[in-house]
């Protein structure tokens, strides 16, 4: 598969790259994987690798964000993602504010822009944003005062870049490289922001094949433009796989009868020991969570020797530490450069 970074960037990717990177190529925001090249994704993985040992220390802290304020701005509920972002920020020695949107001013009619202005007035340095509307973190990144970093913790059906990157870190730990890998993403691809980010990450990092396995009702209308192999028969699709990533059925996002029943979905697309045996013997099993046992995956597989699901959770902290520290470093460098330019003009 041709590496995306080797082809000319589309207008969309150029805009995403310009928003997220400083003039000298450092990370400023982390909104999407669109526009980021293989070198940047590898840098994120390498930085995360250096943070893994922090979690093994007696005192699990480094001083990289000491004195900085990180605001977890979650407009959509999430226990796992918010907890790992909070732990990541605290391990970087940042002060953390978890904003409860249900009791915040936005639930009383205040606009998002005004909420952001008030948070900026409190000298916040970083917003970690999760929102049900696609594009919300992008809007916030364009709206905030220069110097405030925006990290996307998941937006609508659009993107979940830190989840994709922790998945890439888990794959690299187990497979060492991406070249030659055949990876399948199985299940509710239509509603999955994770799947879109995983596809982009795998293609950028050089995976040989990204295979989508799902019923037609759970595939996006633009599936042909994603550069993936599509397979409707899971047993056929499991052949020669190095990695299989199961997705949660996002019933809260479904409109209409997309499935005959959960039982039928599990029979056809649930990962059990029989279907896993059709893949390569060293195929690893992944799931971004939360897991619905007996719907997407059998307990014997989720807890089995080929499962790396708990490793994904551990790696989530390291990846989020990497992204937060890199974005803050980029913001500081850009602010310093801007100050020097203003001083020169005077």
Q: Is 126:151 a contact under the CB 8 Å cutoff?
A: yes
- 293 annotated among ligand-binding-site residues: no
**In the structure encoding, which two tokens stand for residue 246, read together?**
């199961």
Write the burial class of residue 341 (CB in 10 Å: 0-12 exposed, 13-18 middle, 19+ buried): exposed
Task: State the Cα–Cα distance between residues 183 and 202, nearest whole angstrom.
Answer: 8
Q: Is 100:72 a contact under the CB 8 Å cutoff?
A: no
- 154 annotated among ligand-binding-site residues: no
Task: State the Cα–Cα distance between residues 183 and 228, nearest whole angstrom.
Answer: 10
Could you tell me how far CA 282 lies from the centroid of its own chain?
25
User: The tokens 């599936």 sit on which residue?
Assistant: 223
- 290 annotated among ligand-binding-site residues: yes
Please state, in angstroms and as integers, the Cα–Cα distance from residue 244 to each residue in 59, 194, 277, following that order.
35, 14, 12
Task: State the Cα–Cα distance between residues 147 and 254, nearest whole angstrom.
Answer: 38
- 340 annotated among ligand-binding-site residues: no
Task: State the Cα–Cα distance between residues 98 and 120, nearest whole angstrom.
Answer: 15
- 289 annotated among ligand-binding-site residues: yes
Residues 6 or more apart in contact with residue 297 via CB below 8 angstroms: 246, 270, 271, 272, 285, 287, 291
Could you tell me how far CA 326 lies from the centroid of its own chain?
16
- 108 annotated among ligand-binding-site residues: yes
- 160 annotated among ligand-binding-site residues: yes
Q: Given the DSSP bridges, would you call strands 182-186 and 126-131 parallel, antiparallel or unpaired?
A: unpaired
**Which residues are annotated binding-site positions for carbamoyl phosphate?**
80-81, 130, 160, 163, 289-290
Binding residues for L-aspartate, by number, are 108, 193, 248
> What residue numbers does the annotated binding site cover?
80-81, 108, 130, 160, 163, 193, 248, 289-290
């Amino acid at each position: 598969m041709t590496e995306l970074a080797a082809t000319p960037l589309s207008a969309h990717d150029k805009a995403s790259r310009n928003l997220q990177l400083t003039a000298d190529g450092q990370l400023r925001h982390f909104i999407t994987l669109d526009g980021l090249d293989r070198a940047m994704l590898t840098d994120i993985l390498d930085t995360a690798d250096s943070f893994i040992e922090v979690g093994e220390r007696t005192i699990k802290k480094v001083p990289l964000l000491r004195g900085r304020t990180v605001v977890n701005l979650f407009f959509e509920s999430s226990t796992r993602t918010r907890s790992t972002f909070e732990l990541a920020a605290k391990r970087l020695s940042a002060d953390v504010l978890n904003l409860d949107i249900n009791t915040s001013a936005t639930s009383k009619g205040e606009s998002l822009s005004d909420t952001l202005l008030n948070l900026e007035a409190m000298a916040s340095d970083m917003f970690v944003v999760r929102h049900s509307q696609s594009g919300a973190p992008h809007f916030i990144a364009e709206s905030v005062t220069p110097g405030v970093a925006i990290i996307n913790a998941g937006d609508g059906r659009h993107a979940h870049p830190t989840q994709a990157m922790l998945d890439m870190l888990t794959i690299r730990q187990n497979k060492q490289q991406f070249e030659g890998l055949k990876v399948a993403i199985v299940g509710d691809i239509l509603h999955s922001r994770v799947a879109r980010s995983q596809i982009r990450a795998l293609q950028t990092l050089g995976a040989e094949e990204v295979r989508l396995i799902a019923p037609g009702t759970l595939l996006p209308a633009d599936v042909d433009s994603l550069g993936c192999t599509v397979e409707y028969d899971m047993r056929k699709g499991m052949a020669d796989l190095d990695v299989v990533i199961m997705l949660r059925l996002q019933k809260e996002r479904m409109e209409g009868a997309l499935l005959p029943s959960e039982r039928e979905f599990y029979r056809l697309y649930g990962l059990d020991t029989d279907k896993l045996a059709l893949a390569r013997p060293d195929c690893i099993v992944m799931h971004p969570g939360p897991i619905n046992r007996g719907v997407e995956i059998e307990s014997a597989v989720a807890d089995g020797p080929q499962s790396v699901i708990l490793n994904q959770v551990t790696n989530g902290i390291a990846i989020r530490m990497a992204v937060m520290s890199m974005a803050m470093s980029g913001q500081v460098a850009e602010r310093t450069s801007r100050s020097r330019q203003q001083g020169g003009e005077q």
